[in-house]
């Protein structure tokens, strides 16, 4: 492990480290060892990655990435960088969360620019808050670079505006998959159904029949439109449109699988007018 008095310049000879230091308004000679950037990769279309995120990928010494990051974005990574896949998909945990955090802490002590690359936005159902808190606690410099979240981008690419003056003045983003043992109360589907005209559900496919039952039980009509968008913004994007009364059977019939965003609400009626040609 490198001595903690080492600087970015001694760790990496690249001009990237200098550029990052200058952009942050500090002399490279005074930067403490290593920094972790929590970068949002966006939903898949490489054109939706931010310029800041792209610049960091090109400079990175280490990139620790998740399962939902698209191959075109991985292709932008500095070819000299160490690349580590810590991807998790439902039922397939390649690395536990604690191990990932320990890995980031270790890499920040041995490398200058460590990018933690996450699908969508790191702070939207991405555990970015937890990872950042652990890094801060460990004394590791860390910065978040927001990304375009799938809950906005996937509906947009499917021709669904989440708000519209004639259809919806409110939108709620909610997870359909709550972490076990978390301290917050269970999701209050009833108050969401009554208080929000558009509902955007992440990770909802597995619990879809339960969610539909909760929303209908809270008073939403079974005629309420529902759209599912799978692999949104990617060339393989797929959509399924129905109502609260039909969507569960449609998912089973089409064998529609994750990752998908579900949108519930009248804004879906605009889809036929606004959708892009595929």
Ligand X SMILES: C[S@@+](CC[C@H](N)C(=O)[O-])C[C@H]1O[C@@H](n2cnc3c(N)ncnc32)[C@H](O)[C@@H]1O
**Active-site residue list:** 66, 88, 203
Q: Which residue has the tokens 């998740």?
A: 66
Find the shortest distance in angstroms from Cβ 260 to ligand X.
Answer: 5
**Residue 87 has which token pair?**
């991807």
Q: Is 34 exposed, middle or buried (0-12, 13-18, 19+ CB in 10 A)?
A: buried
* Binding piece for ligand X, criterion CB under 6 A, among 2-10, 184-192, 211-219, 229-237: 229-237
229 interacts with ligand X by CB under 6 A: yes
With beta carbons less than 8 A apart as the criterion, state whether 187 and 174 touch.
Answer: yes
% helix, strand, coil for the chain, step of 5: 35, 20, 45
Binding-residue total with ligand X (CB under 6 A): 25
Of residues 5 through 64, those in contact with ligand X by CB under 6 A are 43-44
Told to check if 265 binds ligand X by CB under 6 A, we report no
Pick the closer one to ligand X by CB: 34 or 176.
176
Q: Which stretch binds ligand X (CB under 6 A): 26-34, 92-100, 112-120, 191-199?
A: 112-120
- Among residues 112 and 124, whose Cβ is nearest to ligand X? 124
Query: C-alpha distances in angstroms, 112 versus 78, 210, 221?
Result: 14, 46, 55
Among 155, 145, 127, 129, CA closest to 43: 155
Nearer to ligand X, 16 or 144 (CB): 144
> Shortest approach of ligand X to residue 228 CB, angstroms?
9
- 8 or 240: whose CB is closer to ligand X? 240
**Cβ proximity of 34 and 114 under 8 Å:** yes
Q: Is 121 in the site for ligand X (CB under 6 A)?
A: yes
CB 262, min distance to ligand X, A: 8
d(C-alpha 222, C-alpha 234), whole Å: 30
- Asked if 184 and 163 count as a contact pair (C-beta separation under 8 A), the reply is no
- Residue from 12, 53, 81, 125 binding ligand X (CB under 6 A): 125
Spell out, one character per residue from 174 to 203, where the chain touches ligand X: x when CB under 6 A holds, - when not: ----------------------------xx
CB atoms within 10 A of CB 193: 20
CA distances from 181 to 101, 173, 178, 184 (A): 20, 21, 9, 9
Smallest separation, CB 155 to ligand X (Å): 9
Shorter beta-carbon distance to ligand X: residue 63 or 112: 63
Residue 72, classed as helix, strand or coil, is helix
List contacts with ligand X (CB under 6 A): 43-44, 68, 118-121, 124-126, 149-150, 154, 202-203, 229-234, 258-261
């Amino acid at each position: 492990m490198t001595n903690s008095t080492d600087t970015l310049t001694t760790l990496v000879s690249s001009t990237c480290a200098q550029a990052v230091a200058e952009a942050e308004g500090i002399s490279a000679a005074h930067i403490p060892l290593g920094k972790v950037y929590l970068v949002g990769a966006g939903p898949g279309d490489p054109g939706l990655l931010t310029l800041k995120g792209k610049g960091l990928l090109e400079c990175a010494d280490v990139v620790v990435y998740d399962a939902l990051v698209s191959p075109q974005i991985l292709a932008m990574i500095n070819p000299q960088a160490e690349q580590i896949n810590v991807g998790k998909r439902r039922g397939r945990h390649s690395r536990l969360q604690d191990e990932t955090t320990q890995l980031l802490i270790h890499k920040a002590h041995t490398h200058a620019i460590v990018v933690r690359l996450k699908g969508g936005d790191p702070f939207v159902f991405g555990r970015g808050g937890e990872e950042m808190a652990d890094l801060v606690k460990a004394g590791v410099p860390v910065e978040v670079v927001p990304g375009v979240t799938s809950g906005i981008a996937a509906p947009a690419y499917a021709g669904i505006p989440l708000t519209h003056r004639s259809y919806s003045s409110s939108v709620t983003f909610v997870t359909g998959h709550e972490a076990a043992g978390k301290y917050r109360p269970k999701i209050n589907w009833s108050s969401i159904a009554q208080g929000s005209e558009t509902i955007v559900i992440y990770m909802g496919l597995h619990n879809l029949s339960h969610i539909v039952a909760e929303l209908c039980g809270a008073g939403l009509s079974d005629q309420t439109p529902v759209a599912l968008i799978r692999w949104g913004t990617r060339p393989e994007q797929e959509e399924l449109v129905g109502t609260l009364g039909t969507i569960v059977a449609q998912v089973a019939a089409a064998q529609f699988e994750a990752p998908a965003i579900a949108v519930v609400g009248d804004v879906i009626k605009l889809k036929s007018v606004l959708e892009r040609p595929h």
